[in-house]
Amino acid sequence: MHLDGFFFNSLVREIQQKIAGSRMEDVYDSVEGNLILQLRAPGQTLRLEISIPPQAFFLTEGGRRRKNPGAFSQTLKKHMASLFCRSFTNPPFDRRATLALAPSPNGPASHFLHIEIMGRQNDIILCDQDIIIASTRPPKPGAARLLQPGDRYSPPLMPAKTAPVSLTGPLLGLLLANLGQVSSEQALVKTILGVSPLLAREICLRAGVANTRAADLNSQALDLLAGEIVNLSGDSLQGNFQPVLYAEQGPYWTKLTHLPTPSGQYATLSTALADWQANSRGAGQFESLYQRLQRAIATSLKRLQGTIAKQKIELNRAQEFEDFRQTADTLLACLNAVPKGAAAVTLANVYTGNLQQISLDPSLAATANAARYYKKYNKYKNAAVKVQKQIDANHNLLVYLQSLEYALEAANSLDDLREVLAEAEEAGLIRRQHKVKAPAAPSETYMIYRTDRGNTVLAGKNNRQNERLTLQKADKSHYWLHCRHSPGSHVILCTNEPDASELAYAASLAAWHSKERTSPKVEVVWTQVKNVKKIPGAKPGMVQYVNYRSIFIEPSPH
């Protein structure tokens, strides 16, 4: 976001018109961690939201209260509640705003809330006259400005730049004369108060001097530049703004011709800023939750794959149980050939005829040694069955985790991620955190398509949606499709008499909404919904099916 001096002017004037004369009702922290000043104006309640750390401020319709208030907001509430807003101003083109508050609607201001958004150091400071009561600035011994409670407030020094309102071509020429071989854009940023690189680029483009060095500007170009700057500064000071939101650059106070078409246009700067902050917050939450789920699922997959590998080694050992039975039978068949007290004996295996060296317990008789081998035989035989069951169960869990991994990869909204989170919490992959609210039941925001004949095709986004779609929502006579041997969406073709082209259409969708979407050909199975059943005791979305047919088809999103 480019909250430069021109943007700052317009924003302060917009808010001043709304809150002047209002009474401070409350000060609290929002659930997002921002500071909310709640004001009562004639016939309406206004909320001024200030981001923490201070990077922007705007009037908002949101501002949900956080349960546990912070010390800073409570200090502000103690001193500001019931005071009246006398003014909200800033030094022209400086990014420092002051909210003046008075005990009565028409009385002199007694308290001042300073909002400094200077770039490197952004602070909120409350003063009783000029004595600081509370500040977001952390203590820093030896700092040039002392901004701790009890200190006397001193504003930051103004930049050594020229105000844009009275700029002329000759004055601009003098300012740029000693800057050397810098571009015109860089020169404007260095010399004119409130001009950001984004605005400098726009000014140079409007004046027709884009990609021109400052040293190469003639008097006519300087006059054009000065004229554009004066016009824009006048619009900024007079509140002539056109709030827009750009997809990459964020909100701005006026349209910029050197950027693509704005992604949104707004009636006020506050709504543009609030929308941008909500989108930014949503994007940040999406990325944070996505990474958290990705780590949890990847860790579970790695751990489970390691467990299965160990179990397979154990199974291979256990499957040698037949050797113990043959050894025991050989001992019983050759009792007379076993010396008493021997630690080992070599005998011909009664099944293969091959000579076999058999270890013995010298303290036991030959029959007792045979009994030992029968015991090992039964132990390992039972172990092999048990380990195989464990491997089968873990393999099913592996398939489920892979389906959860696919659901995560396919998620394209915060709500989609929250459904994956709810499932991961139910599966015990992630410890439940009440701070992130997940839907109690799966949503029905299925992906919807239409065949050429007009029949609906529905596709689930995750395991919980798949299960609800297939087992609860779908008509039993309709057709169910799914990518075979791969995690993916359950697809329902909503007709009981599909033709070949509709089945191919739905199958290509099932292939696309699967982990195999990059493969040239994918096997997709289909059957009527009545032939699909949930596996008893299985995880969400895990089903079994009968009376099916399959097709190898190219994945397509249509």
Q: What is the pLDDT of residue 539?
A: 86
Give dist(CA 274, CA 47) in Å, integer: 12
> What number of other Cβ atoms are within 10 A of residue 474's Cβ?
21
Which amino acid does the sequence have at 351? Y
Give dist(CA 83, CA 110) in Å, integer: 9
Q: What is the pLDDT of residue 314?
A: 78
226 three-state secondary structure: helix
Q: Please give the domain boundaries of the chain with CATH numbers for all domains.
A: 5-135 (2.30.310.10), 169-265 (1.10.8), 315-401 (no CATH), 447-553 (no CATH)
Q: What is the pLDDT of residue 438?
A: 47
> What number of other Cβ atoms are within 10 A of residue 484's Cβ?
18
Beta bridge partners of 131: 128, 152
Residue bearing tokens 């009246």: 84
Beta bridge partners of 265: 244
Q: At what angle do helices 219-238 and 5-19 cross, to 10 degrees?
A: 20
Phi/psi at 313 (5° precision)? -65, -45
Phi/psi at 237 (5° precision)? -70, -30
Give dist(CA 158, CA 152) in Å, integer: 18
What's the average pLDDT block by block, 10 residues per block, for the chain (558 residues)? 88 95 95 92 93 90 86 95 96 95 95 90 93 91 86 90 94 89 92 94 94 91 95 93 89 93 92 85 76 90 91 77 86 89 90 90 91 86 81 87 87 82 86 55 79 92 92 94 92 94 94 90 94 90 92 89
Give dist(CA 474, CA 341) in Å, integer: 74
Q: What is the pLDDT of residue 103?
A: 96
Is the CB of residue 152 less than 8 Å from the CB of residue 130? Answer: yes
Q: What is the pLDDT of residue 158?
A: 86
Q: What is the pLDDT of residue 174?
A: 93
Q: What is the pLDDT of residue 317?
A: 72
Q: What is the pLDDT of residue 436?
A: 46
Give dist(CA 278, CA 260) in Å, integer: 22
pLDDT digits (tens, 9 = 90+) for 539-550: 888 999 999 999
Q: What is the pLDDT of residue 288?
A: 82
Q: What is the pLDDT of residue 227?
A: 95
Q: At what angle do helices 366-410 and 321-333 cross, to 10 degrees?
A: 170
